[in-house]
Amino acid sequence: MPYIKLTTTACVSDEKCNSLKAKFGKAIESFKGKNESWLMVAVDDGKRMWFRGDDSADTAMVDVELLGSVAPQDSEKMTASVCDILESELGISPDRIYVKYTGYSNWGWNGSNF
């Protein structure tokens, strides 16, 4: 039950959105038991964002939410993957990307909770 939300200044084409979705689907496997079959991805592009007071280059904020706890070694691997993906797909420098992790003990789907 992972969820990844990308908020970025970059304008992302439909083709790039599909590519990001697929690559995030592989990257989420950094977490034990997580895979693309339950992954929800949202792309919120073309946003005005400043990083360190500067809006002269593309920037991204990535929220990764999971059912269960977030192990530091797994999030470290995921952060590396996310930065690689955004740099290769959108040209966003890793030093302009934040990745935030949140684990939840309750997660609902299809009228009930897991």
> Bridge partners of 7?
44, 61
SS3 category, 114: coil
pLDDT tens digit string along 15-59?
A: 999 999 999 999 999 999 999 999 999 999 999 999 999 999 999
Q: What's the CA gap between 6 and 107, in Å, rounded?
A: 20
What's the pLDDT band for 77 if we cut at 50, 70, 90?
very high
Taking the model in full, what pTM does it have? 0.95
Residue with tokens 């992954």: 39
Q: Are 64 and 2 in contact (CB under 8 A)?
A: yes
Q: Is the pLDDT of residue 1 over 90?
A: no
> What mean pLDDT is predicted for residues 88-95?
98
